[in-house]
């Protein structure tokens, strides 16, 4: 019984609240309609006012004029911004396409070299000729990458380990090599400008502290 009573009161409260909201909305709409009617009468010169109220009408007309100017400027600014966004998006797509096209054009001669190599008679080509051909293609590929700012990271045995450019794959003692230096180059790395694309893979001579930790384990 109490639940039914509470539910009924809640419905009544919601009804009163909705009616208040509707009434407030109606009042706002009526007020807006009156203001628009006054503006239209003022603009057409049909608004009847006392002589001492003429300046008020003049100020109203000036405000309407400024509003229209600002609205026009805003619409033009929005349109200009939308046009700018479309142009910027188009330019970005064109730049990406152009960059991709440049890479593809650089790779096509390498594909041509592969095609020529595959046309060779296996019975007339020696292993050394095959190796020389692969080296030639590799050199051409590196030259093409170099034209895009790609350089190799090719540390030598005995070079100091650089965590910014080298990836330590394992620890490996090496005679005559100082701790923390490279014992073996296990894979060349590459940079694009100053950015490391892939670090070189290396084996590093362990430091005494590292060796002690391993012994304890």
The 10s digit of each residue's pLDDT in 113-153 is 888 888 888 888 888 888 888 898 888 888 888 988 999 99
Cβ-in-10-Å burial (0-12, 13-18, 19+) of 41 comes to middle
CA 176 to chain centre: 48
Query: In terms of CATH, what superfamily is 161-217?
Result: Head domain of nucleotide exchange factor GrpE (2.30.22.10)
Q: In the predicted model, what is the mean pLDDT of residues 97-103?
A: 82
What is the Cα–Cα distance from 125 to 208, expressed in whole angstroms?
A: 52
At 176, list the tokens: 């005559």
pLDDT given for residue 208 in this prediction:
74
Per the rule left: phi > 0, alpha: psi between -120 and 50, beta: everything else, 102 is alpha
Domain boundaries, the chain: 2-89, 161-217
Q: What is the DSSP annotation of the chain?
A: -HHHHHHHHHHHHHHHHHHHHHHHHHHHHHHHHHHHHHHHHHHHT-----GGGHHHHHHHHHHHHHHHHHHHHHHHHHHHHHHHHHHHHHHHHHHHHHHHHHHHHHHHHHHHHHHHHHTS-GGG--HHHHHHHHHHHHHHHHHHHHHTTEEEE-PPTTPBP-TTTEEEEEE---TT--TTBEEEEEE-EEEETTEEEEPEEEEEPPPHHHHHHHHH-
Percentage of the chain exceeding pLDDT 90:
25
pLDDT at 178: 93
Neighbouring CB atoms inside 10 A of 94's CB total 10
Check residues 185 and 61 and name the one with the higher pLDDT.
185
Higher pLDDT among residues 164 and 115, named by residue: 164
pLDDT tier for residue 91 given thresholds of 50, 70 and 90 = confident
């Amino acid at each position: 019984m109490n639940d039914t009573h509470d539910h009924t009161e809640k419905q009544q409260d919601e009804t009163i609240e909705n009616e208040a909201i509707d009434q407030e909305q109606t009042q706002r709409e009526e007020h807006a309609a009156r203001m628009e009617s006054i503006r239209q009468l003022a603009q057409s010169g049909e608004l009847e006012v006392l002589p001492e109220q003429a300046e008020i009408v003049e100020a109203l007309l000036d405000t309407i004029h400024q509003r229209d100017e600002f609205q026009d400027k805003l619409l033009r600014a929005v349109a200009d911004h939308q046009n700018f966004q479309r142009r910027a998006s188009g330019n970005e797509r064109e730049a990406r396409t152009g960059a991709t096209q440049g890479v593809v054009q650089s790779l096509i001669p390498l594909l041509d070299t592969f095609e020529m190599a595959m046309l060779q008679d296996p019975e007339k080509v020696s292993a050394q000729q095959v190796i020389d051909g692969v080296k030639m293609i590799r050199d051409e590929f590196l030259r093409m990458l170099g034209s895009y700012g790609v350089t190799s990271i090719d540390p030598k045995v005995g070079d100091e380990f650089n965590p910014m450019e080298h990836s330590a794959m394992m620890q490996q003692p090496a005679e005559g090599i100082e701790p923390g230096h490279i014992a073996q180059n296990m894979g060349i790395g590459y940079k694009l400008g100053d950015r490391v694309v892939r670090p070189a893979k290396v084996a590093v001579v362990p430091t005494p502290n590292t060796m002690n930790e391993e012994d304890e384990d």
